[in-house]
Amino acid sequence: MSKKSNPYRLECAVWEFTLKCNLNCLHCGSTAGGKRGDELNTEEALVLCEDLKKAGCLAVALMGGEPLLRKDFFKVAEKIKTLGMDLSIITNGTIYSDEIFEKLKKLNPRALAVSLDASKAEIHDKIRGQKGAFEKTWEFVNRGLKEKLPVSIITTVHKMNLKELPAIREQIKGKGIAWQIQTAGAEGARFPKEMLLDADEFYSVGFFIESSRRNYSALELPVIGAHDMGFNSMLMKNITLQNKWRGCEAGISVLGIRSNGDILGCLAVNDDKFIEGNIRETSVGDIWNNPKGFSYTRDFKLEDAGESCSGCEFLADCKGGCNEMSLMKTGKTHNDPYCFCKIEQRLFKEDIKNPFKKFMLKLSGLKSSLSADRKIKKLSKIFLGDRV
């Protein structure tokens, strides 16, 4: 399949620039710390930038590990920008200097995303595995805001910090900070599974995002849920940047690049069974345009759905939800049990049995969606770097 005949447009490549990290985060899905022994060198990284552009890639997100630990970070980041691709940077916010901020300003990234997992040092530092991380992160955030950089915050939620969300909201609202909320997975070696959110806790995070959207303007508190944050709710609308969940985007509009050149549909699916190739052997364009590539999403059929999703009225569009969540919870793709629709069927079981009460539930969701649709356009601009 040639680039011209490929119906799938590569909107964003999420690149693990290095696995090396100065922190020891509890929930890290990559178990980052030491770098991979076979990470791409500078020349290989620059060639990859060229190949991404040739493949039609629109945007690149550089993450880690901690990407700012690589000495060639700015050389590669500048290459991405020079080639005309949008650049996002995801950092833990503990590596900085005057020189780094001057270079970040020159890069003019679409987003500068910083990890913040609690409203107070005690919890954040425990999660991040380093005393003083909270203070450093806030110094980074405040300096970024002072320099007019498009600062975002990413909060990864689990049982240890679930109750921290309202306090974090109070800390960041009105400061021009975009906020992405995601839930922790169990892919990493350091994270105990008993710390994962249960279904009711997961639903409460979705409702927190929805209530925040209702009570604050998109300018005062631009907040979204990540790709794993539930689907097809009767009550909650548009907690992501999509008006409608259209299925897992791995290999559809995004791909993940490990620091050693391995290509996956999504880095969150941290399983070697889903490696599509390596850029040292095959160009990223050829991997993306391979007609047999990313078959678990591109060739989805209704009969591929697992027992959690089989027979669902939303299956044709939803395609079984987030595959990272599905694999983590059930060991299968297209079988996400943490679907808002599924959870609501249990939580509101008696109401759903009553046609009138079911109608009123849907009407309540419809009312919220009418105002949410107006906010979604502004939120999209904010998360693309427009903070005016």
Predicted local distance difference test score (pLDDT) of residue 243: 74
From the centroid of its chain, how far is CA 247?
Answer: 14
For β-strands 111-115 and 86-91, DSSP reports them as parallel
Structure confidence by residue, pLDDT tens digits, 270-329? 999 999 999 999 999 999 999 999 999 999 999 999 999 999 999 999 999 999 999 999
Check whether 370 has a pLDDT greater than 80.
no
Residue range 351-355: mean pLDDT, rounded: 62
Calculate the CA 357 to chain-centre distance: 35
Mean pLDDT of the chain: 90
pLDDT of residue 358: 54
Nearest to 255 by CA among 281, 224, 290: 290
Q: Which residue has the higher pLDDT, 301 or 346?
A: 301
pLDDT at position 22 over 90? yes
What integer is the mean pLDDT of 203-216?
91
> What are the tens digits of pLDDT across the range 33-57?
999 999 999 999 999 999 999 999 9
- Looking at residue 375, what is its pLDDT? 47
What pLDDT sits at residue 126?
Answer: 97
pLDDT band at 371, cuts 50/70/90?
Answer: very low
| Residue % of the chain over a pLDDT of 70 | 89
- How far, in Å, CA of 288 to CA of 283, rounded? 9
Q: What is the mean pLDDT of residues 184-201?
A: 91
pLDDT band at 348, cuts 50/70/90?
confident
Given a cut of 70, whether residue 374 has pLDDT beyond it is no
Q: Where are the beta strands (DSSP E) in the chain?
A: 12-16, 59-63, 86-91, 111-115, 151-157, 178-183, 223-225, 254-257, 262-264, 275-278
**Minimum mean pLDDT range among 244-253, 262-271, 358-367:** 358-367
pLDDT digits (tens, 9 = 90+) for 93-147: 999 999 999 999 999 999 999 999 999 999 999 999 999 999 999 999 999 999 9
d(CA 272, CA 177): 35
